[in-house]
Amino acid sequence: MIELKKFSEEHLERTYLWMQDGKLKESFLLEKEVDWESHLSWFEGLKKDDSQRMFAIVYEGEHVGNVGLKNVDLKNKNAESWIYLGETKYRGKGIARKSLETLNLQMKGEVTKLYARIADFNVPSLKTFISAGYHLEGILQKEIFFKGEFLNIYRLSIIL
């Protein structure tokens, strides 16, 4: 069973450990190192930021990843969604897809559209969002400069 719980202090330590994983950080286009102090500072900012929503993904009682929204725009009723599974042993089991579907249901009525921006090299993430009902809106050519090269960004969306 998958449950989305509001992200809280109890999820900080595990999330911090996941943010030490170079491959996971790369999938989020995060180049900087994450130390404990900056992680705590990020969490304090998150609690005060109405443009973000974050949830811990709990699978069979274990915190296995996080999912959320950023750039929440209630005027235009849209938001950018994101997800990652930090516990590698749970990847490829449909947990991310089901978590996105659960997030979609929770947001229905509050927003009309969710979208995702995914780097062209992140094929697993592209497949996950498509399996959760997102559709390709377009490809932003050479949108982001990351690790010495320009990347294309796929923009996907779902109408709730």
pLDDT digits (tens, 9 = 90+) for 133-154: 999 999 999 999 999 999 999 9
CB atoms within 10 A of CB 18: 20
Angle (CA) 29 17 36, round 5°: 90
What is the spatial distance between Cα 4 and Cα 59, in angstroms, rounded to a whole number? Answer: 9
pLDDT of residue 68: 98
For residues 55 and 5, the answer to whether their CB atoms sit within 8 Å is: yes
Residue 117's closest CA among 77, 73, 70?
Answer: 70
Secondary structure class of 147 (helix, strand, coil): coil
- The rounded mean pLDDT for the chain is 97
What CATH class is the domain 2-159?
alpha beta
41 half-sphere exposure, CB direction, 13 A CA radius: 5
The tens digit of pLDDT for each residue in 67-105 reads 999 999 999 999 999 999 999 999 999 999 999 999 999
pTM of the predicted model over 0.75 = yes
